[in-house]
């Protein structure tokens, strides 16, 4: 039997499990299972037990579709949505639903934490300034709003940590996902004791930090093996956050490509690059990469990407691809508040509408507003800048949509690479699983697989008029968006 590895992408909306040929990187099958997200007025929560059930369902579906013998599986790894706060009791069961990355109720706590130390001190320690998305702000929200849950916590985990622990019985995380908490220091490569004291978070509640996301942290327990339909003893990697896994799948890292930017179009939008430079700007999250070589993964994130544009399409009664350039219309699609720019209380804004404006133009303007925010963040990445012309690797669900691809090309003026591998988070996790099974460097594994390669679309002249129009509207509307929709 040819050896197989399984990479799991446990995202906001669903779990995907990829069965991959360990030698060639060929994607044999992908199984899927949905999650449930609840909450109103800024709240976004999910039951972690549903993540566990979805993981088992997705693995079973993938193995069945591939016609694979479970005995051929040699490694498994989980990549999870970043920043979510999971609090467990002494038996490892969730005390309450997890607070998700896009839960904006913790915006006041983020502002208070920033004020307590100042932006510069946070950047120096963690590489990031607290915003509502960060786990530290969510822990402070829990302490202030549900102190009984905080006091009862026997363990604090990130989403991928929770699943890895269910698989192995071992509490472990990796530098990449840990760097999104704002209690891990990218300067020292360890939890920061002074920040933990500020947060009133006992370090004994946290998992140990493995040297890298591909480090073998354990094997499937008998109970986990039975739940997943796999043999016991399969090696399990530490795993990482979804953005770090996508970077691995693209071959970004010390043993691969450095300073090559990627744009991910999913529920959220992200821009990131693997770099040896440790950034220090509040416009980016200064994450660590997953490879364990001291590589950084500076990342800009927007809350509103494909989900927000799809909602605009539904409101207009249009198919998501039925869009045209916005003309004079400007749409800032901040339907869930926004992280970049940091406007957690904002709602969507539409302006510049004329009698001649068509529904297709309004939908196109929503695409433009979402892409504009990502390009603003891209300018902050080391080695990119406003005049950068490096190809953009376009990934995520939106990368399969014509309207998204053409809007990125038109507004960026850069070449665009469309990787042939579509499930890069799950495939990146599969490379981590291969690392756990063989000891090989996961970025080197993904590079050998060639999963980051694909069609390259040439640049087109950037649409400066649209860029300038959106920038002008955002500058003038920021005071309104800052106070809009206080929750």
pLDDT tens for residues 176-226? 999 999 999 999 999 999 999 999 999 999 999 999 999 999 999 999 999
Q: Which two tokens stand for residue 422?
A: 């579509």
Angle subtended by helix axes 464-483 and 402-412, to nearest 10? 100
Residues designated as active site = 242
Q: Which two tokens stand for residue 195?
A: 């920040």
Strand partners, 300: 271
List CB contacts of 223: < 8 A, sequence separation 6 or more: none
Domain-wise residue ranges, the chain: 4-253
- Tell me whether strands 269-272 and 14-21 are parallel, antiparallel or unpaired: unpaired
Ligand-binding site membership of 296 (annotated) = no
Given the structure tokens 């660590």, which residue do they identify? 288
Neighbours of 221 (CB within 10 A): 18
- Tell me whether strands 73-80 and 4-10 are parallel, antiparallel or unpaired: parallel
Q: What pLDDT is recorded for position 485?
A: 55
Q: 322: burial class by Cβ within 10 Å (0-12, 13-18, 19+)?
A: middle
Q: Which two tokens stand for residue 226?
A: 């039975």
Rounded alpha-carbon distances, angstroms, from residue 129 to 261, 268, 487: 22, 19, 22
Cβ contact 190:184 at 8 Å: yes
Element (H, E) at 140: helix 135-145
Looking at domain 4-253, which CATH architecture does it have? 2-Layer Sandwich (3.30)
Rounded alpha-carbon distances, angstroms, from residue 413 to 388, 392, 466: 10, 10, 12
d(CA 356, CA 326): 11
- pTM for this entry: 0.89
DSSP strand E in 81-210: where? 86-88, 98-99, 155-157, 172-173, 184-185, 190-191, 208-209
d(CA 136, CA 126): 11
Task: Kindly give the parts of the chain with pLDDT less than 50.
Answer: 386-387, 486-487
Per the rule left: phi > 0, alpha: psi between -120 and 50, beta: everything else, 285 is beta
**Three-class DSSP category at 265:** strand
Cβ contact 267:307 at 8 Å: yes
Instruction: Encode pLDDT of 112-150 as tens digits.
Output: 999 999 999 999 999 999 999 999 999 999 999 999 999
Q: What pLDDT is recorded for position 487?
A: 44
Q: What pLDDT is recorded for position 386?
A: 43
d(CA 299, CA 273): 7
Cβ contact 457:318 at 8 Å: no
Ligand-binding site membership of 82 (annotated) = yes
Q: Which two tokens stand for residue 156?
A: 């604090």
């Amino acid at each position: 039997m040819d050896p197989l590895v399984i990479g799991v992408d446990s995202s906001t909306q669903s779990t995907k499990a990829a069965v991959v040929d360990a030698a060639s990187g060929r994607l044999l099958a992908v199984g899927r299972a949905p999650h449930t997200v609840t909450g109103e007025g800024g709240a976004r929560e999910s039951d972690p037990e549903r993540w566990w059930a979805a993981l088992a369902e997705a693995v079973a579906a993938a193995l069945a579709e591939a016609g694979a013998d479970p005995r051929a599986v040699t490694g498994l790894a989980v990549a999870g949505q970043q920043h979510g706060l999971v609090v467990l009791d002494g038996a490892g069961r969730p005390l309450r639903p997890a607070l998700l990355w896009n839960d904006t109720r913790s915006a006041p706590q983020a502002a208070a934490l920033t004020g307590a130390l100042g932006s510069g001190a946070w950047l120096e320690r963690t590489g990031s300034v607290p915003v509502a998305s960060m786990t530290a702000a969510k822990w402070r929200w829990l302490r202030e709003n549900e102190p009984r849950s905080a006091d009862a916590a026997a363990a604090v985990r990130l989403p991928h940590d929770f699943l890895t622990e269910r698989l192995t019985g071992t509490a472990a995380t990796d530098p990449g996902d840990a760097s999104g908490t704002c209690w891990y220091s990218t300067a020292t490569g360890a939890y920061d004791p002074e920040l933990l004291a500020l947060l009133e978070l006992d370090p004994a509640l946290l998992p140990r930090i493995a040297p890298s996301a591909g480090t073998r942290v354990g094997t499937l327990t008998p109970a986990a093996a039975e739940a997943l339909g796999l043999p016991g003893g399969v090696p399990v990697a530490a795993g990482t956050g979804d953005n770090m896994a996508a970077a691995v799948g693209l071959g970004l890292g010390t043993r691969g490509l450095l300073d090559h930017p990627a744009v991910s179009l999913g529920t959220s939008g992200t821009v990131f690059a693997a770099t040896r430079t440790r950034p220090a700007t509040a416009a980016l999250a200064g994450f660590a990469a997953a490879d364990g070589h001291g590589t950084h993964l500076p990342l800009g994130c927007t809350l509103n990407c494909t989900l927000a544009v799809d909602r605009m399409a539904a409101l207009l009664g249009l198919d998501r691809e039925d869009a045209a350039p916005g003309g004079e219309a400007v749409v800032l699609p901040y339907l869930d508040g926004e992280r970049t720019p940091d406007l957690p209380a904002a709602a969507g804004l539409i302006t510049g509408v004329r009698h001649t404006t068509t529904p297709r133009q309004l939908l196109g303007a929503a695409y433009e507003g979402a892409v504009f925010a990502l390009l603003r963040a891209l300018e902050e990445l080391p080695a990119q800048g406003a005049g950068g012309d490096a190809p953009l690797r376009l990934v995520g669900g939106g990368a399969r949509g014509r309207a998204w691809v053409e809007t990125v090309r038109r507004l960026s003026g850069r070449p665009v690479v469309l990787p042939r591998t579509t499930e890069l988070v799950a495939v990146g996790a599969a490379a981590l699983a291969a690392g756990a099974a063989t000891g090989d460097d996961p970025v080197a594994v993904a590079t050998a697989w060639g999963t980051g390669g694909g069609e390259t679309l040439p640049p087109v002249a950037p649409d400066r008029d649209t860029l300038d129009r959106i920038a002008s509207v955002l500058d003038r509307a920021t005071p309104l968006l800052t106070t809009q929709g206080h929750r």
